[in-house]
Chain A
Amino acid sequence: MTTGTIGRIVDFVLSPHIFAPLIYPGLLAATLVLLTLIWAERKMTAKVQLRYGPLYVLKPLGGAIQLIADAIKFMFQEPIMPRNADKWVFALAPVAMMAFTIIPFAFIPAAPGFVGVDVEYSLPLVLSLSALIPPLILATSWAANNKFTLLGGVREAFMMVAYEVSLFIAAFAVASYYGTLSLSKIVEAQSVPGIILNPIAAGVFFVTMLMTASKLPYDIVEGEQEIVAGPFTEYSGILYMLVMGASYMELYVLSLVFVELFLGGWKPVIPALASIHPAFEGISLFIKAYLVLLFAVFLRSVYARYRLDQALEIGWKKLFPLALLSVIWSLALLLVAGGA
């Protein structure tokens, strides 16, 4: 009797509909990534700048659980609501932002056939769900009743104008080569990693991924030295944790898409390893995505921040023609190689 019920509960939890959005690559894995990635970023930046970085929390381990301490601090902090702010929008917009960054996890496949909701059009769905975030940032910047947050919100709107078109066109260039819009089919059709087939699209996608998630050198929206925290200046406590986490969560979602489009997804580097256990493919996807994430946040210590007009110029004068070129490249590959 007991084994029956426990067996049913285990089956229920392990079924892709629950496992993918909630555990991996969903909520639990995303929280794990969030907790370790920010610490890794701070440590790497510190090493480049010849200092130690966060060191106090668990000194023998190098301060590894610093983020857990930060999370506990934020949860106990009092969220201050400015007096003339719009209370409902101010409080609910970060929640909506976080929700819209978490919903795509239901559509990203983690292993062949292991996807939360199996639809044929998961690629445009994931990308368009991440395009729903900037209007919410605009709303929250208006709700805070602060001229400077409004400036930050307008900057975010400008940035979105810069990156969105190139992101979609680069993704669709890859999708048009494989002839399908579904992420799982694109991964299964990759005999050669996409980054070798279409390096232009990979480069454009990577740069626009950085722009979407507002990572240096494109963190114009929340640049600390200029505009305090941009549209999120008035946030404290758990709302602050939500908006800062939403930016990293967006980076995680897009890097998962990047790995699936360009790096072969869940296919392990040594093909024989796939036959050991099906779960190994999920682990290899996670490792690849984590390496891409580490590289993306490492760029923080290398590049200076772009100005807004420089970022717009890059977005439209350099990335947009490159994205169109990647479409032409895909079509040329289709003509020459006959498609995958």
Chain B
Amino acid sequence: MIPVTWYYVVAALLFAIGSYGAVVHKNAVRILVSLELMFNAELLLLLAVASTIEAVQGALLAILVIALTSSEIGVAIPIIVLLFRLTGTVDVTRVSRLRG
């Protein structure tokens, strides 16, 4: 058996890499990619903890979370597309003012 702390380390590493990407990038889609990396890490963490406590509920929660995150991306990407249509840029440092 692989000790579950190894899974914690992997999930934490993925989360850290995702957080680095979310801070450093300017392109809105790449920030979204980094956020999705963090989501993957959190999913792994959820299942790692669920394997020690209560497997069925953890699995159901994971399935619902995957479905809901897909719908969240389905909202975020059209927002970015509409932003691009309105302002011609997806650079987050240039759209930092709410106007009109």
A/B: CB atoms within 8 Å of each other: no
